Structure 1
Amino acid sequence: MNNTKPRAGYTLPVFATAAAQAALQHLQNPNQPIPSVKINLIQPNELAEIPIEQVASLSENSALAITRSDPGDNLDLTRNTPIWAKIEIEPNTPPELIIKGGEGIGRQLNLNNQPAIYSYAKNLLQENLKPQQKTTLTIILPEGRFLATRTSNSAFGVIEGLSLLGTTGISQPHSAPGQLDIFSEELQKKACQFDSIVLCIGENGLDLAQKTGIPPERLVKTANWLGPMLAMAGTCKVKSILLFGYHGKLIKLAGGIFHTHHHLADGRIEIITAHAAKVGMPSEHLQIIFQQQSAEDILNYLQNLQPAGQNWLNLIYQSLAETIDTRSQQYIHDLTEANVQVGTILFNRKREIFVKSKNAATLLPHFC
């Protein structure tokens, strides 16, 4: 095993909060240098000291501060990207914090174009700023619009920028060497407490699973190493596993692809088309599906398809979910000889669950 533990960093909400804190402190004491600020991460319950790159007054009642993202030993595209925070205060007004998304902060299409600033980021800002008067904060990611073109944000209805998403202030090194060892260790610890666990690839699944009612102590993050994590679960004598993920990732398992990073393997279009043929979809629709550019495009096509008598979306994705269960169970058994029940829950870009396998429907109430 790799004994070198990758260095963790912090998530984007932490750096946005640090920049905002620095700008506010500068307004309160403009002659005091601010090389760094301390942020209460809330989750986990600890302080983080974040370097501040620049801070300056814009007017008597407004200031701008800049810091840079440091995600630790992680292949994160936000590494070293600048985060700006502009603070404007209105003297002699009741305490209030207004949070705005500036350039580079994505917009949520399914939430009336609200800025993609999620609950953890908002809680972090409220906890650390604690304004004494009406305060307007605008968070700006100058490189956010460009960086967003290299993410799957649009698949989740977030456009024109990045999200301030996360459930914790710590950025775990998901794609760094040694990550699998750390994830495996977490799984082993939880397998000692519970005989049923939930595997989530990333933050969207982790966040939605908790909102569904699954307690966080049952959740294990896998990043793209689903195959090794399934095998580890079998080795740890786990009795049942719930796979909770975005359909565009998890459907790869239906094709026997157990490492879901797109650089290693894809095949999603082919997998969905094969299952559409399996359930009897007419050839003219199969040809259209096969010509789509992404799994999300196929899902949209199926959602808009209303032929009489058949719900093709449900038929196809139910077939996919059941196959994910079967192939995952067989994968675990082939590697560990363990018999583990696997259930699959798939959600769409709106973070809405739209398919549960039969096993998942049985298992889910036990987690919630």
Structure 2
Amino acid sequence: MLDLYVMSDGKKLRCGYTTGSCATAATKAATIMLFNDIVLERVEIMTPKGIEISIPINSVEKGKDYCIVSVVKDGGDDPDMTNGMEIYAKVEKQDSGFTLTGGEGIGVITRDGLAIEKGLHAINPTPRKTIEQAVKDNLPQVKGENWEFTEGNGIKVTISAPMGEEIAKKTFNPRLGIVGGISILGTTGIVKPMSEEALKESIRIEIKQKGKNKKKLVLAFGNIGEKCAKDKGFNEDEIVIISNFVGFALECCDEMNIKEVILVGHIGKLSKVAYGCFNTHSRVNDVRLEVIALELALLGYDTELVRSVLTQKTSEGAVKFLGNGYEELYKNIGNKIVERMRIYTYGKMKCDAIMYYGFSDYSILYNSLDINKS
């Protein structure tokens, strides 16, 4: 168990280690045991973040020219789908050179735009480096120097995760064109619980992958927004789910030279953007009802109606309370959303928005694409 903690929402949460750290630790242990007559119970690795961690060995299988070691992924208090799964490394001798590949349960890249070349297993650049270094640093020495990957002295490493294919269905991998399993990830080697950084990195990767050779992307807050976008005729390969990180997603689109963005979402999220809030998490800002109430006041509606809107518990409730006949209200909010997006991106890209209320049976309140057509 990793004895490293962070504070989140006033709670002390335990950190864990990434699939990349698991693969590195298993590789290091397998290399040591392949060339030495010992059985390890734990192995220490230095993470890319510069923190040394000790990881327990889960299982060992040793043959004449190979050794297979597994470790169990410990995500700490982070609700990660890969937490508790076994990560295996098979280290075996080969004629020459160094080879790193994926086995059962490790996904394969099927699209361009990711950090790893299409057709290779989804073992990201940082874990690739740490895995190879784990082998090099623990090879037997000949005349005081480490074994080199020369003729007759090669090493092949195969990383696998038997439950990987099933678990990957619950991750971002299918959206990114990574099929058949999980990815071996980790730029720091450490998992921070509830990590905003990790979620942002997933968004950045999806924008990079889907934005390659495209000029237009659709940004949706979640699954209902994605469904709405598809119902409006957009393809899955141009839709990115961005959670609450509107500003960050727009910045990523700018980096990819995207020229047109359509933001699709519930009025509860989108209304915040109308007044310059580009992180829509309720803990960061919660002005949903205030936006609706202020826009009603600006349109000259009775003060009692404005007060009544502010007493509603949710924006969904406010829309239902108002009922029909408020098209001008939603048009004004929608126009301000589009304008704020345009200002945020310094006018570099064409911005549109589709705003709805409801859930699986949602109804459209505003669609700037339709307005621009008329």
Give the TM-score normalised by structure 1. 0.55
2:186: which partner in 1?
Answer: 166
Question: Does residue 1:251 correspond to 2:249, yes or no?
Answer: no
2:53: which partner in 1?
Answer: 48
Relative to structure 1, the CA distance from residue 200 to residue 327 in structure 2 (aligned partners, 3 Å threshold; closer, same or farther) is farther
Report the secondary structure of 2:156's partner residue. Answer: strand
Relative to structure 1, the CA distance from residue 139 to residue 320 in structure 2 (aligned partners, 3 Å threshold; closer, same or farther) is same
| Offset at residue 137 of structure 1 (A) | 0.1
Spell out, residue by residue over 1:299-358, the C-alpha distance to the aligned partner (whole angstroms, 9 max, x if none). 59xxxxxxxxxxxxx99953428999984252639758xxxxxxxxxxxxxxxxxxxx64
What is the RMSD of the two structures over their aligned residues, measured on CA atoms?
Answer: 3.9
Contact 1:167 1:207 in 2 (8 A): no
2:128: which partner in 1?
Answer: 122
Partners of 2:19 and 2:62 in 1: how far apart? 23
Contact 1:104 1:161 in 2 (8 A): yes
1:156: which partner in 2?
Answer: 176
| Offset at residue 8 of structure 1 (A) | 0.6
Report the secondary structure of 1:71's partner residue. Answer: coil
| Offset at residue 167 of structure 1 (A) | 1.7
Report how many residues are paired: 239
Spell out, residue by residue over 1:255-274, the C-alpha distance to the aligned partner (whole angstroms, 9 max, x if none). xxxxx5x5xxx33322565x
The AA in structure 2 aligned to 1:47 is E
2:34: which partner in 1?
Answer: 27
Percentage of identical aligned residues: 26
Partners of 2:201 and 2:72 in 1: how far apart? 21
1:203: which partner in 2?
Answer: 201
Gaps of 5+ in 2: 1-7, 112-116, 140-146, 210-216, 241-256, 279-284, 288-340, 349-374
The AA in structure 2 aligned to 1:107 is V
Partners of 1:297 and 1:127 in 2: how far apart? 36
1:7 corresponds, among 5, 14, 25, to 14
Partners of 2:207 and 2:174 in 1: how far apart? 21
The AA in structure 2 aligned to 1:3 is G
Report the secondary structure of 2:166's partner residue. Answer: helix
The AA in structure 1 aligned to 2:236 is E
Higher-Rg structure is 2
Task: Tell me which protein shows more helix as a share of its residues.
Answer: 1
Contact 1:40 1:124 in 2 (8 A): no
Partners of 1:39 and 1:27 in 2: how far apart? 18
| Offset at residue 50 of structure 1 (A) | 0.7
Contact 2:27 2:69 in 1 (8 A): yes
Relative to structure 1, the CA distance from residue 167 to residue 209 in structure 2 (aligned partners, 3 Å threshold; closer, same or farther) is farther
1:81: which partner in 2?
Answer: 85
Give the TM-score normalised by structure 2. 0.55
The AA in structure 1 aligned to 2:10 is N
1:105: which partner in 2?
Answer: 106
Gaps of 5+ in 1: 184-198, 212-246, 253-259, 274-285, 301-313, 337-356
Partners of 2:9 and 2:206 in 1: how far apart? 32
Partners of 1:358 and 1:28 in 2: how far apart? 61
1:137: which partner in 2?
Answer: 157
1:318 corresponds, among 261, 273, 277, to 261
1:238: which partner in 2?
Answer: none
